[in-house]
Structure formats: C-alpha cells, structure tokens
Amino acid sequence: MDYWCELAWLPPGEVVSGVLVTVDGSRISAITPETADPPPGAVVLRGLTTPGFANTHSHAFHRALRGRTQADRGTFWTWREQMYGVAARLDPDSYLALARATFAEMALAGVTCVGEFHYLHHAADGKPYDDPNVMGHALITAAREAGLRITLLDACYLTGGIGTALVGTQRQFGDGDAVRWAARAEDLAKAYRKTPEVEVGAAIHSVRAVPPEQMTVVVEFAHQQASPVHAHVSEQRRENEACVEAYSATPVQLLHDRGALGPRATAVHATHLSNVDIALLSGSTTHVCMCPTTERDLADGIGPARALLDAGSPVTIGTDSQAVIDVFEELRAIELDERLATGKRGHWQARELLNVATAAGHASLGFPDAGFLVPGAWADLVSIRLDSVRTAGASKPTAVESAVFAASAADVHSVVSGGRRIVAEGRHMLGDVGGMLADSIGALHE
C-alpha cells in the first residue's frame, strides 16, 4: 500500500513535500521524498503527516468520569472517591465496551499506541474472577479492536496508603503480595508473547500502594520480561510528605534505592521534585510522563519538564484521567504551563514537543521501532488538516508549529496504525465513537 503525503515530518525533524510512504504489512518498507504527484492507486494524505502518537499513560475507565467531577470544588482525594465508585461498577463486559470506545476516541486523536496502567484486576468484592486476568484481556481486546497497539502495564497495588490495608473498592486492585501479583502477571505475559502488537509490562502503582520490600519483586519481573516498568511518582505533595515521614526518602529516592529507575522505566507525573530527584531520574535515563490536562484538572501542579529533558530524562505525555483526549492539548500545555509558571516564553520548540508524542513515547512503551517515518519502522501515520478554522494560514515552514500550537484532535483526518487505516476522513472504522461512549458510560451510571 502506498500513501502520498502532501507534507511529512521526516527525521531529523524536517517537513518535506510530496513524500511517498510504502507500507508492507505492519511496517514501512520505503520512503520516497519530493515526488511531484501521487502515483496511481496511492492514498492521498493532505496536510501534515507525522508518525503515530503514543499515549504513554492511560486509565481507560476514567473516561466515565469526564464532566461528572466538576460540580463541586473538591480535591484530588474527593475525586478519587468518585473514581472508586466507577471502578466498583465495572465487570469484564462493561470494561471491554468502555475501553474500546475510549481507545477509539484516542485513535481519532492520532494515538496509535497506548500505555494502559491497569489495576482493576478483580471483582468489586476483591475476589478474583475464574480467569484472574480477564480484565487485562478485556483491555487488550479493546485496544486491538480499536486498532491500537497496547502496552498493558499491569500494576502491583497492595496497600491503601503507607502502612494501611486495602479497604472497600481498593480490594479489587490487590493480589495480596508482590509474589502473587507476579505469578498472575506472568500468566498474562505468556498469553501475548507471540503477539507483536501487545506488550505486557509492569507498574508499581505508587509508594502509597507498594511497600519498598515488595517493589523489588516488580522490578525483577520487568527485568525478566525485558519490559517497561512504570510508576506514579510525586503526583501530590501529600504523597511526598508521607513518604519522607515513613522512609526518610522522597518517592524518587525510594524507587532508586529499589532499582526501579532506568532506561525501561517511566516516572508518571513527577510533579513535585527536588533537585536530587531530577538528578536521579536523569542520571538513570528514566523516562518521565507528563499529564498536563489531568494535572491542571486536579490542581496537582506543574512539573519541571524542561529541566528533566535538559538533564537527560526523555519526556513523554499521557491522557491519564481522560479529562480530554487531545495530544496537541497535552503537548502545548507542557510549554504553556511553563510560561505561566516562569513568566517566560520559548521553553520548548514545536519539533521537540512532537518528538515527545512520537519517538520518546513509543520507546517508553517498549516500541523503540515506532515513532519515526523511516523504512523498517511500524507503519503509523497521522495526518493533520492545515486548512481548518484552527490551522488555516499554515505554510510548509510553519506546519509543525501550526499543528502543535493551534491544531486539535478534530484536525486529525487520517490515521494508519500498524499498516491498517483505522481513521479515514475523520471517521473511525468502528463507526460512531460518540454513540459507543454514550452507551458504555450511560450503562455505568444508570
């Protein structure tokens, strides 16, 4: 299959006209720049075409909360109680429906690979299903049906807070201890070892939920699988204070001491960091996932993204709570939030931000051969309109800036994921995604 791109973003960050992308199966087999006209039979992609986007941090079920947590002032902790309420109503069938619709919404926004941070392992009363991994299978099925690759980050979640037991809905998250978590996660990983579109990784939910002595088991699992390991880190000041009080160390220092940092690791949020934390993350080349739309929705704060990148940590983005699903909004928020925090402009160039959503994001999810338009890479193509009311006036020299700082998810008109065209003319192959979302969310709130 041939795709002719009016404009394409090619390594090392150059916009090129008339790029012919030849796809063989799930991979790009050839790139031919500056072809004057599309050859017969080629699919014509107008506007700017980039590699597919990676959504490094997602909780699919949080999509059911959008718009329902804004009526009262609340805090992160009151929001969490509402989230628990949704979790308690999910079962494998309803989770499949909701996740499939949510992942389809991501596809419409240009996402071709999602990192799903998964901890809804068991029934609401905490009892395992007959298949202890049925919820994980539902998420993987949902992603594949929506056309996405998925890294299922199976989360170890053992305590309700530092030194406290799981209570209520939290019981459906826990496996008792890390050894039992690893045995279940190993069974899940075995099921997908021959499925190239699926990666099963590990997650330490947080220092609140995994005691230090249990973290080592999770890290060892990730090493044995050669898989990514992610963790929520320093999202809340209260989390940092409790960690220092209990362990005389920050969350980053605790993870470092337990061997949980490194090139295959990702620290999610990393909002409230000390200079020592930044040095530990960057010195270990740990990825850092920023989730700006969730951070601002929950009033969590602004993380030091530029300082982390300059020090050596690759930066990625995630939609986390699904407050919105719009990669462009996440990207420009990294720059715009730093402008508000510092009173200065120009922390990030548009091409750097686009790399955050492409090459860096895919690498953090265990797909280092994605996020580039080069032969041999995964055939992921996202085409962005440059003639909408948001992007009209864009030109070749400013195409990337127009996309990153002006476009929205609505400007994505075509998405090819792993060689399969899953979005054409702004419509997902599954049909009415809005209707799918309304039905799956409505069923949970009846």
Catalytic center residues:
269, 320
Crossing angle between the packed helical segments 92-108 and 134-146, to the nearest 10 degrees = 30
| Distance separating alpha carbons of residues 170 and 375, to the nearest angstrom | 46
**Contacting residues for 28 by C-beta, under 8 A, at least 6 apart:** 21, 22, 373, 374, 375, 376, 377, 378, 379
Q: Does the N-terminal peptide bond of residue 12 adopt cis geometry, omega within 30 degrees of 0? A: yes
Element (H, E) at 275: helix 275-283
| Distance separating alpha carbons of residues 123 and 179, to the nearest angstrom | 20
* Pair 330, 56: CB distance under 8 Å: no
Crossing angle between the packed helical segments 212-225 and 178-191, to the nearest 10 degrees = 20
| Distance separating alpha carbons of residues 132 and 163, to the nearest angstrom | 26
Question: Residues for the chain: how many in total?
Answer: 446
CA 249 to chain CA centroid, Å, is 28
